[in-house]
Structure 1
Amino acid sequence: MRAPGDAGIAGSRRVAVVGGGVAGLSAALHLRLGGAEVVVLERHRTGAGASSGNAGWICPTQAGPLPEPGLATYGLRALLDRDSPLYVDPRHLPRLAPWLVRFARNCAPARHRRGVVALEALGRRAFGAVADLEPLGFRPELHRLGLLVASRDPAVTQAFLDGLEAFRARDATIPTVPLTGEAVRELEPALSSAVRAAAVIRRHWHVRPDSYMSSLAAVATAHGVQITEDAPVLRFATRGGAVTHVETPGGDVEADAVVLATGARLGTDTRMLGVALPVEAGKGYSFSVALDPVPSHAVLFAEPHVGCSPLTTGVRLAGTMEFSGVNDRLVPGRIEAMQRGVRPLLSSWDEGSVAGEWTGMRPIAPDGLPIVGRLPGSANVYVSGAYSMLGMTLALPAAEALAELVLTGRRPEVLAPFDAARFARRAASAARARAAS
């Protein structure tokens, strides 16, 4: 890691990073540490989107793409069920249908396996990337408690463990069979007798997301990153295939390079530059509740697909995947469905303590993989996004690699599976097939 001011081969470069979430701030900090002059343009408040209210999991051992074998069949059954963890708003379905078809194709076992390998390679730096920032003053609320995967049906936890086979070569602590019966409660008294199986994944940290974001912003600012809030992008001024200025209500920002890290709005923003990236908003929900006893691990309740993160003040529960377009509408019924799914699985539940209901949009590509690299057709625009539910795990490692690409022109091999051009290539291939038919 270079100190600020050590220029790369491109000399002193000014980079505009559009987006102040975990992807944008991570990119901005590593670009600055690589010698660039960096300004972050955030349309609202730094860290106010999906980065602020999620479960805060840093989970390299279970980093797999969202489209997985069997999910397409499950999705068809659950598509319009408001209580299902996976839900599509019927009003949004006609516009979303082509994306859902691409998503379903990526549920094929071979594609999923390739995705797991790619995400494992990127995610193996997750813990080290956090630790490397600690000497710079990075001090989020961080818990190294491990993850307990809990289920009513032992077969569900067993299937989860079977799906981690690709990670066992690097993590010999991953169990091959779950605990069952009373052994579950001996390990975790916070679980009720309805939980019949559980397994501990030791390589799992979690953070309080708002503390993570505020600390990341403070470190970036302390090292010279300029952060401008209430600065939505109005237009990109281009010349010769390169962006020269980013226009905002507060004025134009000159840039030698631009990084787009705008979360669920990434596809909309790239359209301003003539490229339509297939990024959809998968809305998640969370809330806090008081539990006694407090779980001694983070917990994944497998059947309702709800995550539980014990924090210094209360316990955060997060989950669901709602496709209803780009919006911040909080549907109370989604929170209530999460509570119905989890309440019987905990040994205590204080109804009066439920608070902090929140919703945010996860950016998701149809293959479930991030999009990190240069934007096709542009000489100096890069993207960092589509981290799905893995932003806290992957944003920092991806930022390290992206900074190398932006500042030197050399793409680290770890980024190859996440190239934005993969969608352009697929679109061109489909066009040729149509022409030949």
Structure 2
Amino acid sequence: MTRSIVIGAGMVGLATAWHLQERGVDVTVIDRAGVAAGSSWGNAGWLAPAKTIPLADPSVWTYGPRALFDADAALHVPVRVDVSLWSFLARFVAHGTQRAWDTAMAALTPIDKLALESFDELIDGGVDAWTREGPFIVGFGHEKQARGFMRDIAGVIQHGQRVHVERLDDPRALAPQLSGQVGAAYRMDGQRFIEPGPFVHALAAAVEERGADMRVNAAVTDVNRTSMPTVTLATGEKLSADSVVIATGAWMPELARPLGVNVRVQAGRGYSFTVDTDEPAAHPIYLPLQRVACTPYDGRLRIAGTMEFVGPDEPLQARRVQAIVNQVRPFMTGVDLDNRHDEWVGSRPVTPDGLPLVGETRSAGVYVAGGHGMWGIVLGPATGKLLAERIVTGRTDPAIAPFDPLR
């Protein structure tokens, strides 16, 4: 039996491990902290291919500079001397053109189309978890503010996805948490959501039940190849296998850059918290101008937002949580924003061109899977399936061909 080591116990790493097991591979999963310890835990849990789009678009040229001086802006870049960060930002902004957006969207569309069925495959294969249909309720202060959202939806449809969006006369019938300040609202169908932490833990349980060796609180300090791919743990222990997958999210460069993966991966940190609501939240809510996503979670409403470009291990900034609160307060009612639970920050791996990094490194038998930005949850199962196929058969599915980590 062939053997593989997967470094990273988030959605992407565990989905890769599960699909490797499907193909008869013996798997060891290693994580420096634990299952779903990174951005797989506190995100919004959206399985929304219609919104799985490039992060940089033409609006970044006007919104970005304003955000530097707005303490409540969804985008936060600290004013500091950091050559590496500003180099990334220059490349990121350079992709904020319609042509670059279309190029990236064309590359993302094939895997977007596989996203939902890939979740069904995991659940049908024994993962004890669920996904739920929307609708997603999309709210704006007034009708003109919906133009950017509708333009994005039109672009997604143009590139081959099927998306149904319908104007709502009474959004509070579906989302009573929306206040009278929401003057225009739509419902978006065909999308789903999950509770991400429980789903990833269920996936980990399935992988372990199938015989995987799960090693948590085990840091990997090096990956190299001598006679075969080998990882070195912080304890000095060395483990070898036929293949190694680096799926460590925003920390990927630490292990992957020495292997020729030179595409910049910047931590784009997101924040979330949960709140009690007077009426139960049944459907996800999206406030595009505030860049805030809300999801029913464990009897409460999880509110997630912010893109903060800093280091992946920097501490939670309470000011960023308050910025989300300030942004959403006018548009919500019956929501206890001042009694927050589970305040969280997680580092999402963002690339300048908006495309993931999935494939083999310059070291034969060593692969990376990451760089999905905000879309690691929704694209994780499809990524794991197609990477496992590449590892076992040598065939690169066209859906991941544009994500070559050596580009």
TM-score normalised to the size of structure 1?
A: 0.88
Does the CA contact (< 8 Å) of 1:22 and 1:392 recur in 2?
A: yes
Q: How does 1:169-318 map to 2 (within 5 A)?
A: 174-175=164-165, 178-179=167-168, 183-239=170-226, 243-249=229-235, 251-318=237-304
Q: Which amino acid aligns with 1:154?
A: E
Partner of 1:30: 19
Does the CA contact (< 8 Å) of 2:218 and 2:233 recur in 1?
A: no
Does the CA contact (< 8 Å) of 2:43 and 2:304 recur in 1?
A: yes
Q: Does 1:401 align with 2:401?
A: no
Q: Does 1:17 align with 2:6?
A: yes
2:318 counterpart (307, 310, 332): 332
TM-score normalised to the size of structure 2?
A: 0.94
* 1:115–1:275 Cα change, 3 Å: closer
* 1:166–1:39 Cα change, 3 Å: same
Extract unaligned runs of 5+ from structure 1.
Answer: 1-11, 423-437
Shift of residue 60, structure 1, vs aligned partner: 0.9
Shift of residue 92, structure 1, vs aligned partner: 5.6
Instruction: Show CA shifts across 1:301-335 (max 9, x none).
Output: 11211110012321100010011112141111111
The structure that has the greater radius of gyration is: 1
* 1:145–1:274 Cα change, 3 Å: closer
Instruction: Show CA shifts across 1:53-112 (max 9, x none).
Output: 111111111210111122133112212533210011122643311111111111111111
Q: Does 1:383 align with 2:373?
A: no
Instruction: Give distance in 2, aligned partners of 1:341 and 1:227.
Output: 41
Q: What SS does the corresponding residue of 1:284 show, helix, strand or coil?
A: strand
Partner of 2:399: 414
Partner of 1:117: 106
Instruction: Give distance in 2, aligned partners of 1:314 and 1:187.
Output: 16
Instruction: Give distance in 1, aligned partners of 2:90 and 2:119.
Output: 36
* 1:248–1:254 Cα change, 3 Å: farther
Q: Does 1:348 align with 2:337?
A: no
Instruction: Give distance in 2, aligned partners of 1:172 and 1:233.
Output: 42
Q: How does 1:420-431 map to 2 (within 5 A)?
A: 420-422=405-407
* 1:411–1:183 Cα change, 3 Å: same
Instruction: Give distance in 2, aligned partners of 1:302 and 1:318.
Output: 12
Q: Which amino acid aligns with 2:251?
A: R
Does the CA contact (< 8 Å) of 1:291 and 1:315 recur in 2?
A: yes
Q: What SS does the corresponding residue of 2:176 show, helix, strand or coil?
A: coil
Q: What SS does the corresponding residue of 2:256 show, helix, strand or coil?
A: helix
Does the CA contact (< 8 Å) of 2:224 and 2:363 recur in 1?
A: no
Shift of residue 256, structure 1, vs aligned partner: 1.3
Q: What SS does the corresponding residue of 2:279 show, helix, strand or coil?
A: coil
Instruction: Show CA shifts across 1:225-257 (max 9, x none).
Output: 2210111112234227x6344444272111111
Partner of 2:29: 40
Instruction: Give distance in 2, aligned partners of 1:143 and 1:85.
Output: 27
Instruction: Give distance in 2, aligned partners of 1:216 and 1:94.
Output: 39
Partner of 1:107: 96
Instruction: Give distance in 2, aligned partners of 1:28 and 1:172.
Output: 30
Shift of residue 158, structure 1, vs aligned partner: 3.1
Identity %: 34
Instruction: Give distance in 2, aligned partners of 1:282 and 1:358.
Output: 14
Instruction: Give distance in 2, aligned partners of 1:261 and 1:80.
Output: 35
Partner of 2:132: 143
Instruction: Give distance in 2, aligned partners of 1:236 and 1:311.
Output: 37
Partner of 1:435: none
Instruction: Give distance in 1, aligned partners of 2:99 and 2:34.
Output: 40
Shift of residue 351, structure 1, vs aligned partner: 4.4
Does the CA contact (< 8 Å) of 1:149 and 1:157 recur in 2?
A: no
Farther off after superposition, 25-34 or 350-359: 350-359
Partner of 2:83: 94
Does the CA contact (< 8 Å) of 1:86 and 1:320 recur in 2?
A: yes
Q: Which amino acid aligns with 2:185?
A: A
Q: What SS does the corresponding residue of 1:220 show, helix, strand or coil?
A: helix
Q: Which amino acid aligns with 2:259?
A: L
Q: What SS does the corresponding residue of 1:191 show, helix, strand or coil?
A: coil
Instruction: Give distance in 2, aligned partners of 1:143 and 1:64.
Output: 21
* 1:220–1:92 Cα change, 3 Å: farther
Q: Does 1:65 align with 2:54?
A: yes
Instruction: Show CA shifts across 1:346-383 (max 9, x none).
Output: 121224531110001000001111111111x2211111
Instruction: Give distance in 1, aligned partners of 2:304 and 2:71.
Output: 16
Shift of residue 153, structure 1, vs aligned partner: 2.8
Shift of residue 46, structure 1, vs aligned partner: 1.4
Q: What SS does the corresponding residue of 2:373 show, helix, strand or coil?
A: coil
* 1:232–1:339 Cα change, 3 Å: same
Instruction: Give distance in 2, aligned partners of 1:311 and 1:324.
Output: 27
2:152 counterpart (151, 163, 171): 163
Extract unaligned runs of 5+ from structure 2.
Answer: none
Instruction: Show CA shifts across 1:162-210 (max 9, x none).
Output: 21124437665523x644xx53334533211100111111122111111
Partner of 1:426: none
Instruction: Give distance in 2, aligned partners of 1:172 and 1:29.
Output: 29
Q: Does 1:364 align with 2:350?
A: yes
Does the CA contact (< 8 Å) of 1:141 and 1:211 recur in 2?
A: no
Does the CA contact (< 8 Å) of 2:175 and 2:285 recur in 1?
A: no
Q: What SS does the corresponding residue of 2:353 show, helix, strand or coil?
A: coil
Instruction: Give distance in 2, aligned partners of 1:97 and 1:416.
Output: 29
Shift of residue 393, structure 1, vs aligned partner: 0.8
Shift of residue 141, structure 1, vs aligned partner: 4.9
Instruction: Give distance in 2, aligned partners of 1:80 and 1:253.
Output: 49
Instruction: Give distance in 2, aligned partners of 1:351 and 1:256.
Output: 50
